[in-house]
Chain A
Amino acid sequence: MKKLSENILDKISIDYVRTQVLKNAYGNDDTPIAKLDPRTLLLWYLFFGFFPWFANNVVLLLLLFMFAAATTRLAKVAPLVLFVFCLGVFSQTGYLLIVSLFFDGNLSTIIPLSVLTLKVATVSLASITVFSGLDPDRLCAGLLYFGCPDKLSFSIAFSYRILPVLMEQFQNILFSYRLRGRVPEKSGSFWVVKNLFYQIKIIMLSFYPLMLGTAKRSRTTVEALELKGYRHSLSNPEVRRIKLSHLRFSKGDFAFAFISLVYTAGSILISSYIKL
């Protein structure tokens, strides 16, 4: 229990989160995945994000999972992201398995659940590759190309830029609350719980100044956008064309698409001959 609470407080260390997220967003421009055209990757994701749900063969799912894992490895994803991924997969299906054992489930429950886990894992890995492998600007360009609402691509670009600023502001507010506040005295058996509630309360309170500060900031942002005629540019096809003119397919894109195709077809062939 004590260890867990320390673990939680460690995780709240904002610097860690900030560096990890930024590293994930901007840190790996030189990976083979980041060099691909965003359109290739989005099409690729369209396939790997949907196909596993429709496959039911354990061998095929395993092979697809291995492929998705390999691309994630190529994309050099930050460890924090992978940790969150593992947590997510386990919390989706592992928990269900444990509880079903209480309701006189037996080991045969594992098989349908492991199929579900494999599907979830493959799809999530594919999305990690695409959405973490690409830097935000290229991701936005790709999304815009396929006709996503401009508001979404604006939100992504804006979020990545505002994140470090907001985190720093939040951290400063948090520090000032800590400076002025008083941590519960380190005695009694409920200290850990008390401390935890105190920390959470401070985080809650910090949102009040943060909201006011961000309100001001978002007004500045929107007014600056208005000055540049942002809303008008959304409806102008010429602006769109200029925005997307830098996208080019290269040899790497064709190679990547070809390898994925051959691998998928090959694993379907293999899975139809091997029976578990």
Chain B
Amino acid sequence: MSLSSNSSMGQAQKMMVFVLSMSIYGIATLFTELIPSFHVGIVEFSVEYFLFIPLSLAMLLSPLSAALGAATGELVFSEIMLGQFGGLGEVEKFLTVTIGVYVAGRMVRNPLDRKMVGFAAIFGVILQQGMGCIVDILKVVLAVEDFEAVPGLPESVFFTEGFSFLNDVLFSGILFCMLPTMYLVPKLYGKIEPLLGMKPRDEKTAFGGEKLFTPKVAVLSILGFGAAALFEILSESGFELVDWEADWAESGPAYAAGIFIGFIVLAVAIAAIKRNFESSKRGAGQ
């Protein structure tokens, strides 16, 4: 995806795609966050997410910018604005959405080919949901002490996660991602590009050139998923650390003193980092 293969895609255009994907997907997630799900029997009907928006944009425009924009939009609109920001755990969602949308966007070479568009859309959803599902299971396994020993918990976790995965793919995936994408992509093709000041994408300017999956994309995706899982688990793996702490922190006062020292170390470290940072910046500026 070098710039020379598609010279109409400058830095400014990428920024436009980023802003576009961010604001529209952000608005959409704001709504989906507020629409409660409802149950019919055991099947949960939830408008899980309007992933068709970044999917269409990724297929028509720059996949990476659209993917990053969508993940940022979700983070900013539905997490930070509604005050639901979950710290490290959000990194997992950010990375899985980025990977899912990016891979789907790279798969499509001819946006007018509805079958391919639909297949890529559902593949992106499966990728994103599958990664999320694996991470969710690992999260509970690691966060709950003696996971196997708690009666009924392992089965229920595997059941709920597996079921919600199938549910999301079959219901939200087909209804809210695949069908709208198949409708929107050919309709938007050739209309949205001039508005952003670029040429429509065709066989020659498609990203990735000949190969659908370059090894680079695959390796980056796997690395990204590893990082996503790591962050999610890091954010919830309190138990082992506390076991380890219990050796020296038997007494409360020692623990409290530890906290104080931790605070001081933190403050000093931040001050030092800041001074370094500013001096290096000043050095670079001169």
The interface of chain A, by Cβ under 8 A from chain B, is: 1, 4-5, 7-8, 11-12, 17, 21, 24-25, 43, 46-47, 49-50, 52-56, 77, 80-81, 84-85, 87-88, 95-96, 99-106, 108-109, 112-113, 116, 119, 123-124, 127-129, 131-132, 139, 147, 151-152, 155-156, 158-160, 162-163, 166-167, 170, 200, 203-204, 207-208, 210-212, 214-216, 218-219, 221-223, 225-226, 231, 236-238, 240, 261, 264-265, 268-273
Contacts and interface: CB of A to CB of B under 8 A. Distances in A.
B27 interface: yes
A38 B10 CA distance: 35
Contacts of B12: 222-223, 226
B141 interface: no
B238 interface: yes
A69 to B, nearest CB: 13
Contacts of A4: 36, 38
Contact of B152 (A80, A100, A222): A100
B43 to A, nearest CB: 13
A96 B160 contact: yes
A257 B140 CA distance: 33
Interface stretch (B104-112, B120-128, B191-199, B219-227): B191-199
Contacts of A17: 30-31, 34
Contacts of A46: 266
Contact of A43 (B47, B73, B84, B270): B270
A160 B281 CA distance: 30
A159 B77 contact: yes
Interface in B34-55: 34-36, 38, 47, 50, 52-53
Contacts of A21: 30, 81-82
Given A105-B156, A211-B24, A214-B24, A222 B19 contact: yes
**Chain B interface helix/strand/loop/mixed:** helix
A75 to B, nearest CB: 9
Q: Which 5 A-B pairs have the closest CB atoms?
A: A272-B252, A105-B152, A128-B83, A103-B152, A100-B156
A235 to B, nearest CB: 9
B197 A208 contact: no
A81 B236 contact: no
A259 B57 CA distance: 48
B177 to A, nearest CB: 11
B20 A218 contact: yes
A218 B87 contact: no
A interface secondary structure, majority:
helix
Given A8-B35, A207-B24, A237-B282, A215 B76 contact: no
A237 B19 contact: no
B159 interface: yes
A112 to B, nearest CB: 5
Given A4-B38, A8-B36, A269-B252, A103 B159 contact: yes
A84 B16 contact: no
Contacts of A124: 83-84, 86
B210 interface: no
Nearest to A169: B27
20 contacts: A17-B30, A21-B81, A24-B81, A53-B238, A54-B241, A56-B238, A80-B34, A81-B83, A99-B160, A100-B150, A103-B155, A109-B151, A109-B153, A123-B86, A204-B50, A207-B24, A211-B20, A212-B191, A240-B281, A268-B255
Interface stretch (B1-9, B95-103, B180-188, B200-208): B180-188
Given A8-B38, A54-B241, A158-B19, A81 B82 contact: yes
Given A24-B81, A268-B252, A212 B19 contact: no
B252 A105 contact: no
B15 interface: yes
A219 B195 CA distance: 7
Interface string B232-252: 000111110110010000011
A204 B235 CA distance: 35
Contact of B82 (A84, A99, A273): A84
Contacts of B256: 265, 268-269
Contact of A159 (B23, B87, B160, B255): B23
B68 to A, nearest CB: 9
Nearest to B252: A272
A214 B23 contact: yes
